[in-house]
Amino acid sequence: MKDSIRHLIQQALTRLTEQGVLPEGLTPAIQVENTRDKTHGDFASNIAMMLAKPAGLKPRELAEKLIAALPADAAVSKVEIAGPGFLNFFQNSDALAERLEAALADAQLGVRKSGAAQRVVVDLSSPNLAKEMHVGHLRSTIIGDAVARVLEFLGDTVIRQNHVGDWGTQFGMLLAYLEENPAAAESELADLEQFYRVAKKRFDDSAEFADRARALVVKLQAGDADCLRLWQRFNEVSLSHCQAVYDRLGVKLSPADVRGESAYNSDLPAIVSELQAKGLLSESEGAQCVFMDEFKNAEGNPLPVIVQKAGGGYLYATTDLAAMRYRSQVLKADRALYFVDQRQALHFQMVFEVARRAGFVHEGMDLEHMGFGTMNGADGRPFKTRDGGTVKLIDLLDEAEQRAYALVKGKNPELDEAELRQIARAVGIGAVKYADLSKHRTSDYSFNFEQMLSFEGNTAPYLLYAYTRVASVFRKLGKGVSEIGGKIDLQAEQELALAAKLAQFAEVLNSVADKGVPHILCSYLYELAGLFSSFYENCPILSAEDETVQQSRLRLAALTGRTLQQGLELLGLTTLERM
Neighbours of 239 (CB within 10 A): 18
Q: Which of residues 28-67 bind ligand ARG (CB under 6 A)?
A: none
Per-residue contact string for residues 396-415; x = within reach of ligand ARG by CB under 6 A: --------------------
d(C-alpha 296, C-alpha 307), whole Å: 17
d(C-alpha 172, C-alpha 233), whole Å: 14
For ligand ARG, the binding residue among 45, 88, 91, 126 (CB under 6 A) is 126
| Least CB distance to ligand ARG at residue 338 (A) | 6
DSSP 198-253: HHHHHHHH-HHHHHHHHHHHHHHHTT-HHHHHHHHHHHHHHHHHHHHHHHHHT---
Answer whether 175's CB lies under 8 Å from 220's CB.
Answer: yes
State the sign of the Cα–Cα–Cα–Cα dihedral 392, 460, 457, 524. Answer: positive
- By CB under 6 A, the count of residues binding ligand ARG is 9
For ligand ARG, the binding residue among 50, 51, 251, 323 (CB under 6 A) is 323
Residue of 106, 119, 233 lying closest to 506 (CA atoms): 106
For ligand ARG, the binding residue among 176, 289, 340, 397 (CB under 6 A) is 340
In the bound state with ligand ARG, the residue whose beta carbon lies nearer, of 65 and 163, is: 163
Answer whether 562's CB lies under 8 Å from 570's CB.
Answer: no
**Amino acid in position 115:** G
Residue of 133, 72, 6 lying closest to 397 (CA atoms): 133
| Least CB distance to ligand ARG at residue 361 (A) | 13
| Least CB distance to ligand ARG at residue 255 (A) | 17
In the bound state with ligand ARG, the residue whose beta carbon lies nearer, of 374 and 451, is: 374
Q: Which stretch binds ligand ARG (CB under 6 A): 122-130, 295-303, 458-466, 535-543?
A: 122-130
Per-residue contact string for residues 194-233; x = within reach of ligand ARG by CB under 6 A: ----------------------------------------
Q: Which of residues 161-180 bind ligand ARG (CB under 6 A)?
A: 163, 165
- Taking CB atoms within 8 Å and a gap of at least 24, the contacts of 316-319 are 316/261, 316/347, 317/347, 317/350, 317/351, 317/354, 318/268, 318/271, 318/272, 319/167, 319/261, 319/264, 319/268
| Least CB distance to ligand ARG at residue 461 (A) | 31
> 295: part of which helix (H) or strand (E)?
strand 287-296
Answer whether 194's CB lies under 8 Å from 138's CB.
Answer: no
In the bound state with ligand ARG, the residue whose beta carbon lies nearer, of 105 and 345, is: 345
144 binds ligand ARG (CB under 6 A): no
In the bound state with ligand ARG, the residue whose beta carbon lies nearer, of 341 and 399, is: 341
State the sign of the Cα–Cα–Cα–Cα dihedral 522, 526, 531, 532. Answer: positive
In the bound state with ligand ARG, the residue whose beta carbon lies nearer, of 323 and 558, is: 323
In the bound state with ligand ARG, the residue whose beta carbon lies nearer, of 46 and 140, is: 140
128 binds ligand ARG (CB under 6 A): yes
In the bound state with ligand ARG, the residue whose beta carbon lies nearer, of 343 and 411, is: 343
End-to-end CA distance of the chain: 36
In the bound state with ligand ARG, the residue whose beta carbon lies nearer, of 128 and 458, is: 128
Residue of 235, 234, 264, 258 lying closest to 246 (CA atoms): 258
Answer whether 551's CB lies under 8 Å from 488's CB.
Answer: no
| Least CB distance to ligand ARG at residue 221 (A) | 18
d(C-alpha 571, C-alpha 575), whole Å: 11
In the bound state with ligand ARG, the residue whose beta carbon lies nearer, of 139 and 149, is: 139
Alpha-helical regions (H) of 19-46: none
State the sign of the Cα–Cα–Cα–Cα dihedral 19, 23, 24, 26. Answer: negative
d(C-alpha 437, C-alpha 431), whole Å: 10
Phi, psi of 82 (to 5 degrees): -135, 150
| Least CB distance to ligand ARG at residue 320 (A) | 5
| Least CB distance to ligand ARG at residue 134 (A) | 10
For ligand ARG, the binding residue among 257, 320, 401, 495 (CB under 6 A) is 320
How remote is the C-alpha of 325 from its chain's centroid?
24
Residues in Cβ contact with 176 at an 8 Å cutoff, skipping those fewer than 6 apart: 199, 202, 203, 209, 212, 213, 216
In the bound state with ligand ARG, the residue whose beta carbon lies nearer, of 370 and 520, is: 370
123 binds ligand ARG (CB under 6 A): yes
> Strands across the sheet with 86-91, in order?
32-34, 43-45, 86-91, 76-82
Q: Which stretch binds ligand ARG (CB under 6 A): 121-129, 182-190, 263-271, 278-286?
A: 121-129
In the bound state with ligand ARG, the residue whose beta carbon lies nearer, of 128 and 235, is: 128
| Least CB distance to ligand ARG at residue 343 (A) | 9
| Least CB distance to ligand ARG at residue 480 (A) | 44
| Least CB distance to ligand ARG at residue 317 (A) | 9
SS3 label, residue 447: coil
503 binds ligand ARG (CB under 6 A): no
| Least CB distance to ligand ARG at residue 42 (A) | 42
267 binds ligand ARG (CB under 6 A): no
Contact residues toward ligand ARG (CB under 6 A) are 123, 126, 128, 163, 165, 320, 323, 338, 340
